[in-house]
Chain A
Amino acid sequence: MSAIQPSDTDQPTAPSQEFVELFSRNQRRIFLHILGQVGNPEDAEELLQETNVVIWSKFRQFAPGSNFIAWSFQIANFEVMKFRDRRRASKLVFSDDLLQTIAEESEEFQDDLDQRRTALRQCLKKLRDSDLALIQSRYSPGNRGKHVAEGLGRPANSVYQSIGRIRKTLFECINRTLHAEGSQ
């Protein structure tokens, strides 16, 4: 852990290659970390942007070799708290202490993300064609379950049901895959 680099340069003016790599490699991870707290992908994306701004402005404070994830999560957590203050009127945000618990646990749990992503790919392939089309349409950028229903001319409720069912299928499938890889 080289907290202090013997510096022949003074303050670096641009982030190091390592920093840039860490930054881009962990975008998805930070996004999911935020999402776990706010629940809504659009909000999470917005907060990710704000977090990124802070990360870039503070790149000098990041000690090379230290834990980038822990560092960036801290920044993200702070942004989530600010967000919560803004949204206090809305009752659809968790309370501070629960947010904190979730944030802490999220840090412990992030290890298997890459496996999860790989598993998700596999699992998507196993969906029936019609299910795959439906879930694609649901997640095409900017879309919502409601829009999907309008597009299909199906009752919204039945579309919600189907989307929920597919998500559950994927969820189970991912966990099974990981379980099969992991133990026994």
Chain B
Amino acid sequence: MSNSFNNHAELVTLIERQLESRISQDEFARLETLVRNSPSARCFYREYLDLHGMLHWEAAQSSDSAVSQTVMKEAADVPASSAACQTIPVTTHRPVRTPRRFAFRLTALFAGLLAMVASFIWWSVSHSGPQMALPDPAPVVPAQDALVADATAEVPQLPERVPVKLPEQPLRSRPDGSAQPVAVSIAASSSDHGRNPSPDEDGVTGPAASGSAGALVAFIDEQIQAAWRDHEVTASPRADDSEWLRRVYLDTVGHIPESEQVTAFLKETGPDKRQRIVDQLLDDQDYIRNWTTIWSGLLIGRSNPRNVNRASLQKYLREAFARNRGWHEIVTDFISAEGSGEDNGAANFLLAHLNNQAVPATAITARLFLGQQLQCTQCHNHPFNEQKQDEFWAFNSFFQQVEMVDRPRGGNPRVREVALRDRDGAEPTFYETRNGLQMATFPRYEDVRVDIDSGGRLRQRLAQLLVNGDSPQVARAFVNRMWHHFLGAAFTPEVDDMGPHVAVVHSEVLDRLTREFVRSGYDVKQLIRWICATESYNLSSRMSDGNRIDDPSAGQEALFSRVYVKPMTVEQVFDSLMIATQARELFGPDWDSLEKKRQEWLQQFVMAWDTDDNDEADLFNGSIPQALMLMNGELVKLTLEVEHGTLLDKVVRSRGNEQAKIEQIALATLSRRPTAEEAAAVRRLIRDHTNRRSRGDNLQAATRDGLEDLFWAYLNSNEFILVH
């Protein structure tokens, strides 16, 4: 929706002035012109005034006191929060069906599991991003006492799981990894007790694959190892199969593996088992879905700008990734697209960004496809490069030659569509320098000036220039982005900023990968195979004593002596929840209904960060409010409560003993076997439930409660929410 603001930037400014009675006659005349000339502007105007009117109306309705206003009152009733704790954006809940059990569970949960699962922060030992988020057990204690007292007596209607006092800041583990003693002990013991590594788990695979691919990967590994030696760094150990499988699933198909897939993989032998999984995932339907999601987010954002047909764009992307089309072709399509967003899915990219003299189109094209930050050079020269302002407008000039037209669709005057069309006569682009000098420039890219009189379509010429040569910037930028996606850090400090002033680590690796990528015909799947086969990608994400300085999030050069931890995207969370709980069928039989549900669910995260910058980039950043939203969200509750068909239900009904059931849940959520401590804690919990339950209840119900608690705690752990 940010785009509706971009498209109507002037309109909003004028309306805002009108609403505060600050509008001049000239401005009002301008407002009238805008509103008169465009149906979409009128629609926008109406909706904006509706908002103004509703706010005014609701306030006036209960005017006895200035503060007690119906709507706003309700809003103010949201749990008051101290300055230190952010407001918790609670979504409204339907009445809790079994308040007593929920209250009960809260007690048990925080008493037992949370303390244990919270200790998984060691996963993110060096991760500088906002940490998710389980409340430190300590501050919970008062609440817990109160609940214990209540749980034995008749429990009054208890609030949801929210009212836990949070620690003042997100849990940040100390660099030495000893944030909590328990963390260390579990970390240390996990390999002894929990994992039961099969003898050939870590078969001597090595990435040495066949032919030239093997040579390329070997080259990359050598270069990276050389840097380890230079920096006197010891790489983290190779990731065990559980850790690696979960990671490659999330990175490639966008969700965690199912528990059966984990057990099958753990059993499998053979030196090429990891490679086989990569091949298998690249052929998976969810590969297409994942990359469609990622790229539609990058291209048009997660909200739905006006003039843009998201479904059509996604259809285009699905087809492109399904056929594994060369990346250069895809970029060409986006840059040179014509026609309406309905007919041509690729047109939606420019339709979303062509407003405002095509400045967004220029800047976003440069950022996404070329890894260049041009926004600032729009108004002034970059300190590092004299020519920058001129360059910006010369590049922009390509996009100024295309316009958006509002036209009847298929000859039907009642149905409108917006389409891209090249302007008839191309013109130079004018801009103003900061000292007020009027300048003009022509379409130009990297010193190749395109003659606007020569006819032919300028944007196609641009696309040709962009993908010209054996290692054009388009390919470098894509390789950098993909490397970042899989390894958690790019060759440059910011994945989108590869400008001349930016230091590139391992530039020889980037160069070589880029050339090979171009030679392969911009084969995206091949690039993924190469990256997944590197030694670095197969390392553990856990930091060791030997590579503590390898911490790009702390501003250090990335050495790739481990895989860097990253928070899941909100889509990954949703899809992984669906896999873990097996609740997919709850939302309807078909793909569309699930997608609809996902969109809805996603909106709550969009709105949670709906502030000044309207920044959509880090929707789900694993911070405390989001973690709470997840824990208390309808979705988690629903998928846990439902009686039939969900994983929990199947596990409860399955024949195995307690240990086996606990293991099934660990595999389904964290893709690994439970640690001994976890298993013991859950068994205690189940006994607890049994003791507390009054007569008439059976063991199965108590087991169910215990397992449900475990499930819930796992889903809300750091370990679940991070890609590691």
Contact = CB atoms under 8 A, between A and B. Distances in A.
Contacts of A116: 50-51, 54
Interface string A132-159: 1001110111011110000000000000
Nearest to B92: A122
Contact of A160 (B20, B55, B71): B20
B357 interface: no
B520 to A, nearest CB: 35
B35 A98 contact: yes
Q: Looking at chain B's contact residues, is the secondary structure mostly helix, strand, loop, or mixed? A: helix
Interface stretch (B387-395, B603-611, B687-695): B603-611
Contacts of A82: none
B18 interface: yes
A53 to B, nearest CB: 19
Contacts of B712: none
Interface in B598-630: 599-600, 602-603, 606-608, 610-612, 614
A172 B303 CA distance: 9
B311 A184 contact: yes
Contacts of A137: 66
Interface stretch (B40-48, B253-261, B431-439, B539-547): B40-48
Contacts of B58: 117, 120, 139
Nearest to B35: A98
Contact of B614 (A40, A144, A172): A172
Q: Which among B45, B90, B603 has the greatest number of chain A C-beta atoms within 10 A?
A: B603
Nearest to B304: A179
Interface string A151-184: 0000000001001110111111111110111001
B152 interface: no
B60 A141 contact: yes
Contact of A172 (B46, B63, B610): B610
A91 B2 contact: no
A92 interface: yes
B614 to A, nearest CB: 7
B611 A145 contact: no
Contacts of B69: 136, 139-140
A126 interface: yes
Q: Report the contact-size class of chain B (Cβ under 8 Å from the partner).
A: 35 or more
A171 B74 CA distance: 19
B150 interface: no
Interface in B68-99: 69, 71-72, 74-76, 78, 81, 87, 89-90, 92
Contacts of A61: none
Contacts of A109: 43, 46
Contacts of B445: none
**Residue among A140, A160, A169 with the highest chain B CB neighbour number at 10 A:** A140
B158 interface: no
A44 interface: yes
Given A98-B35, A169-B610, A184 B310 contact: yes
Interface in A23-60: 28, 31-32, 35-36, 39-41, 44-45
A35 B92 CA distance: 31
B179 interface: no
B75 A128 contact: no
Interface residues of A, number: 63
A132 B304 contact: no
Contact of B51 (A105, A136, A170): A170
A113 B53 CA distance: 11
Given A98-B35, A184-B310, A141 B59 contact: yes
Contacts of A170: 51, 55
A91 B67 contact: no
B449 to A, nearest CB: 40
Interface stretch (B25-33, B477-485, B555-563, B566-574): B25-33
B298 interface: no
B47 to A, nearest CB: 7
B4 interface: yes
A181 B600 contact: yes
Contacts of B48: 167, 171
Given A113-B50, A168-B12, A179-B304, A139 B55 contact: yes
Interface in A93-109: 94-95, 98, 101-102, 105-106, 109
A48 B165 CA distance: 48
A86 interface: no
A125 B89 contact: yes
Interface in A71-129: 91-92, 94-95, 98, 101-102, 105-106, 109, 113, 116-117, 120-129
A136 B599 CA distance: 30
30 contacts: A91-B25, A94-B35, A102-B46, A105-B42, A105-B46, A120-B58, A121-B75, A124-B74, A125-B90, A127-B75, A132-B75, A136-B67, A136-B69, A136-B76, A139-B69, A140-B67, A141-B60, A141-B66, A160-B22, A163-B20, A167-B16, A169-B610, A169-B611, A172-B4, A172-B303, A173-B607, A177-B607, A179-B304, A180-B603, A184-B595
The 9 A-B pairs at the shortest CB distance, nearest first, are namely A124-B75, A140-B66, A139-B59, A41-B56, A180-B603, A35-B53, A164-B16, A145-B20, A91-B25
Given A105-B39, A126-B610, A176-B607, 13 more contacts: A31-B53, A32-B53, A36-B46, A36-B53, A44-B53, A92-B25, A109-B46, A140-B59, A141-B60, A141-B66, A172-B4, A173-B607, A181-B600
